[in-house]
Structure 1
Amino acid sequence: MTATLKEHDYSFRKLQQANFHDMTFEHVDFSNADLTGANLSNCLCIDCDFSEAILRDASLQGTDFQGCSLRGADISGANLFFAMLEHADLTDIIHDDRTKFFDLYCPAEGPFIGYKKCFDFRIVQLLIPADARRTSATNSCCRCDKAKVLSIKDMYTNEPYDEAVSYVDSDFIYRTGEYVVAENFNPNRWADSTGGIHFWLTRKEAEGYM
């Protein structure tokens, strides 16, 4: 059973290397706490305050921070793989080049190649143009508002096809040589399952999509 902690004051506490894995926190104050190296993976944080907290090298994989304050928190070296940050206050948050899955995962500028998986195990190779809007949340899946279809191939045999049908919208068709445009593109990068053309940077990652 998941442990739940409510209305607790951990502010300014020394909590280095603490193991909070899989816990639920409601209205808990972690402001200015030292959580260096702490394990907060898969935690549900409801209206919690992590402002000015030290989360250096912390394990934050799968942690739900939606609606929490991370204002001024230091996440240098922390791992945020699949952490949920939508509606969190990230003002003045501190991170570095060791922080995992916080910065944009795909190139911020210029054209590049992406891949996606469609119905019938068809792999679509996409050119994301320089003027396309692109974004990512806290994992390796990215989104863009438009792309050109370079090729469509069977995942197992590499047999070429002219068309592929999106998993999410059966009316969204990818055709070789043509551009596709997602009119519903959501520019909020922290909203993960939302509008846009979802893609990966490698074919292997696209093939692993279920």
Structure 2
Amino acid sequence: MTNGLKNHDYSFRKLQNANFHDMTFENVDFSNADLTGANFDNCLCRECDFSGAILQNASLKGTDFQGSSLREADISGANLFFAMLEHADLTDIIHDDQTQFFDLYCPAEGPLIGYKKCFDYRIVQLLIPADARRTSATNTCCRCDKAKVLSIKDMYTNEDYDEAVSYVDSDFVYRVGDYVTAENFNPNRWADSTGGIHFWLTRKEAEGYM
């Protein structure tokens, strides 16, 4: 198998457990193919057609589906950790509670606690209120449009601080007791690196950032 495949027709093929790891596909037709258990980890799929494909229990970790169609594809039990779906057609896609990293990672409703890492190894604990918009893509990082700063602590010594500066925007400062608002919040959940207050559900995950 070569590292790249272009203008190929795999439609209606039986390709269970096929290993396509690290390949680049361009304008490849996988429509209605049986790809149960297939490995597409770290693949780049440009303008590919997966419509009606069976991708049950497939490994789609880090797969870039830019411009591809997953219309009516069955991803039940598949693992989509860090898959890129921003410009993919997901109309009527089929998934279940065993599908990993497709549903919203953070609670869709109600208040919740989040954590983020800022400059100088400062860990910010946030209260995301019930009326805050929140979203996530295909990993454990979430975004919201507003939050209250509950505490700021040194990652190693747990020393308290009054403020912390965002890694992404040095003008965005978190201060204990204050609400912060991301005016540039992007509601498109599949756009991962975009506007919003990025946070994790656990302090350990926040500490692992960068």
Name the TM-score class by shorter chain.
Answer: over 0.9
Aligned to 2:24: 24
**Separation (CA, whole Å) in 2 of partners of 1:182 and 1:154:** 24
Secondary structure of the 1:198 match is: strand
1:99-152 deviation per Cα after TM superposition (whole angstroms, max 9, x unaligned): 000000000000000000000000000000000000000000000000000000
Aligned to 1:3: 3
Is residue 148 of structure 2 the alignment partner of residue 148 of structure 1? yes
**Separation (CA, whole Å) in 1 of partners of 2:19 and 2:117:** 37
Question: 1:118-129 alignment to 2 at 5 Å?
Answer: 118-129=118-129
One-letter amino acid of the structure 2 residue matched with residue 183 of structure 1: E
1:73-99 deviation per Cα after TM superposition (whole angstroms, max 9, x unaligned): 000000000000001000000000000
Cα root mean square deviation, aligned: 0.9
Is residue 64 of structure 2 the alignment partner of residue 79 of structure 1? no
Aligned to 1:189: 189
Aligned to 2:102: 102
**Separation (CA, whole Å) in 2 of partners of 1:41 and 1:34:** 17
Gaps of 5+ in 1: none
**Separation (CA, whole Å) in 2 of partners of 1:185 and 1:21:** 34
**Separation (CA, whole Å) in 2 of partners of 1:161 and 1:167:** 16
One-letter amino acid of the structure 2 residue matched with residue 64 of structure 1: D
TM-superposed deviation, 1:46: 0.6
One-letter amino acid of the structure 2 residue matched with residue 126 of structure 1: L
**Separation (CA, whole Å) in 2 of partners of 1:125 and 1:167:** 15
One-letter amino acid of the structure 2 residue matched with residue 32 of structure 1: N
TM-score (norm 1): 0.99
One-letter amino acid of the structure 2 residue matched with residue 48 of structure 1: C
Secondary structure of the 2:120 match is: helix
TM-superposed deviation, 1:162: 0.3
Moved over 6 A (4+): none
**Separation (CA, whole Å) in 1 of partners of 2:60 and 2:189:** 18
TM-superposed deviation, 1:66: 1.4
Is residue 111 of structure 2 the alignment partner of residue 114 of structure 1? no
Gaps of 5+ in 2: none
**Separation (CA, whole Å) in 1 of partners of 2:208 and 2:3:** 33
**What is the count of residue pairs matched by the alignment?**
210
Aligned to 2:169: 169
Aligned to 1:134: 134
One-letter amino acid of the structure 1 residue matched with residue 175 of structure 2: R
One-letter amino acid of the structure 2 residue matched with residue 5 of structure 1: L
1:174-203 deviation per Cα after TM superposition (whole angstroms, max 9, x unaligned): 000000000000000000000000000000
Secondary structure of the 1:205 match is: helix
